[in-house]
């Protein structure tokens, strides 16, 4: 075996250029393989942390025009949420969810730019975002409630010079909400990077008209939790 090793080393030394090219090629190939593996693993891990991941579906619709073109979208009228719960037995829970993009939040006379989303109480019963403080069964049931993430809570703690738990009951406001204060009723752990829903703060749907323009108000994202299997709804 030692002779074979020595023989291989002699060949490498005799053909240095070819050896360097071969080793470099193998290194690049292995590096690409590892990167592809990590990328695929990351993609398939999206939303798997939700306990009910296999029973949560996004409602889509398609429109077929007279010329044969088909448009597909996941943006629907917000009233569909209640209709699905009332009319479709397979739907256990349903929530509308919409991002209001970056909004200016005011706390203790200081402003922050945060990703604000609007949703409904069922959101916290469908998705498994970890609750650090507060009662998820009561989140957003009052019209002026606000639920924030740990990252945002840490920023507010720095401004207010208080502990995270002390933020419960404190108020913040948004530039688009005028003088309407929002009471912090819950704090979630940071949203995982492999979540398709990203946000810093959540507020009730009552304030949709203050944060969304007219076109956005007509169509909203909807997610539903099915008891049995995926249902498909098409609008023509």
| Residues 113 and 103: beta-carbon distance below 8 Å | yes
Q: What are phi and psi of 90, to 5 degrees?
A: -70, -15
> What's the angle, vertex CA 28, arms to CA 19 and CA 36, rounded to 5?
155
Q: What is the spatial distance between Cα 170 and Cα 133, in angstroms, rounded to a whole number?
A: 13
Give mean pLDDT, residues 72-86: 80
Convert the pLDDT of each residue in 164-213 to its tens digit.
Answer: 999 999 999 988 777 789 999 999 999 999 999 999 999 998 887 777 65
Which range is least confidently modeled, 63-77, 137-151, 218-232? 218-232
Rounded distance, CA 233 to CA 225, Å? 14
* Structure confidence at residue 164 (pLDDT): 94
Residue 214 has pLDDT above 60, yes or no: no
The pLDDT-based confidence of 217 (bands split at 50, 70, 90) is: very low
The mean pLDDT of 117-128, rounded to a whole number, is: 93
Residue pLDDT, tens place only, 4-50: 666 666 666 677 777 678 778 888 999 999 999 988 888 888 898 99
pLDDT above 50 (res 114): yes
Q: What are phi and psi of 194, to 5 degrees?
A: -90, 30
Question: How far is the C-alpha of 123 from the C-alpha of 133, rounded, in Å?
Answer: 16
Do 65 and 72 meet the contact criterion of CB atoms below 8 Å apart?
no
The pTM of the full predicted model, rounded to 2 decimals, is 0.76
* Structure confidence by residue, pLDDT tens digits, 132-174: 999 999 999 988 999 999 999 999 999 999 999 999 999 999 8
């Amino acid at each position: 075996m030692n002779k074979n090793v020595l023989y291989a080393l002699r060949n490498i030394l005799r053909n240095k250029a070819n050896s360097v090219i071969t080793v470099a090629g193998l290194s690049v190939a292995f590096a690409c393989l590892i990167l592809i593996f990590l990328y695929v693993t990351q993609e398939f891990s999206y939303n798997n942390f939700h306990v009910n991941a296999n029973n949560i579906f996004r409602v889509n619709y398609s429109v077929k025009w007279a010329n044969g073109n088909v448009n597909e979208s996941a943006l629907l009228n917000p009233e569909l949420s209640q209709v699905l719960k009332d009319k479709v037995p397979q739907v256990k829970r349903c929530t509308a969810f919409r991002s209001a993009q970056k909004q200016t939040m005011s706390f203790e006379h200081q402003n922050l730019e945060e990703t604000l989303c609007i949703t409904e109480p069922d959101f916290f019963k469908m998705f498994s975002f970890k609750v650090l403080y507060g009662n998820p069964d009561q989140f957003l049931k009052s019209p002026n409630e606000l639920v924030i993430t740990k990252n945002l809570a840490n920023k507010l703690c720095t401004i207010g010079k208080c502990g995270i738990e002390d933020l419960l009951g404190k108020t913040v406001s948004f530039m688009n909400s005028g003088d309407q204060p929002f009471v912090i009723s819950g704090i979630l752990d940071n949203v995982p990077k492999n979540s398709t829903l990203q946000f810093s703060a959540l507020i009730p749907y009552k304030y949709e008209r203050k944060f969304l323009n007219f076109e956005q108000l007509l169509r909203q994202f909807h997610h539903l939790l099915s008891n049995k299997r995926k249902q498909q709804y098409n609008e023509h």
